[in-house]
């Protein structure tokens, strides 16, 4: 089960990469070249939805990376901070929730 979660995590990172936009654009161009009769407003809406999804994914990934960078810096700068929490982002969401429950409970 961990292997599947790792695959989905990596897939999310790949979807946030700028090359993902190029992939959708190339797909759209090839669609228009090879099947122009099937590219109507539904096709344009599909491509627009994919692009919007990639923009959202990219924005979320950027925000998450910025937050992690700031928190890592705080953990390094604050004396007595528990350094083991710096690798918390490598765990699965369920594990992080359990960690937070232990700390809050």
Q: Which two tokens stand for residue 57?
A: 């994914």
Per-residue pLDDT of 55-103, as tens digits, reads 999 899 889 888 888 888 888 888 887 777 777 777 777 777 787 777 6
Is residue 18 within 8 Å of 63, Cβ to Cβ? no
Is residue 88 within 8 Å of 99, Cβ to Cβ? yes
Annotated domain spans of the chain: 2-104
Per-residue pLDDT of 32-41, as tens digits, reads 999 999 999 9
- The conformational region for residue 80 under phi > 0 = left, psi -120 to 50 = alpha, else beta, is left
pTM of the complete model beyond 0.85: no
Q: What is the DSSP letter of 102?
A: H
């Amino acid at each position: 089960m961990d292997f599947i979660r790792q695959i989905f995590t990596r897939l999310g990172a790949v979807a946030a990469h700028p090359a993902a936009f190029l992939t959708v654009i190339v797909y759209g161009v090839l669609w228009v070249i090879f099947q122009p009769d099937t590219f109507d407003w539904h096709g344009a809406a599909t491509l627009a939805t994919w692009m919007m999804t990639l923009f959202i994914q990219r924005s979320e990934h950027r925000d998450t990376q910025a937050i992690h960078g700031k928190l890592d810096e705080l953990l390094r700068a604050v004396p007595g901070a528990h350094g083991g929490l710096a690798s918390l982002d490598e765990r699965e969401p369920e594990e992080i929730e359990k960690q937070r429950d232990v700390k809050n409970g």
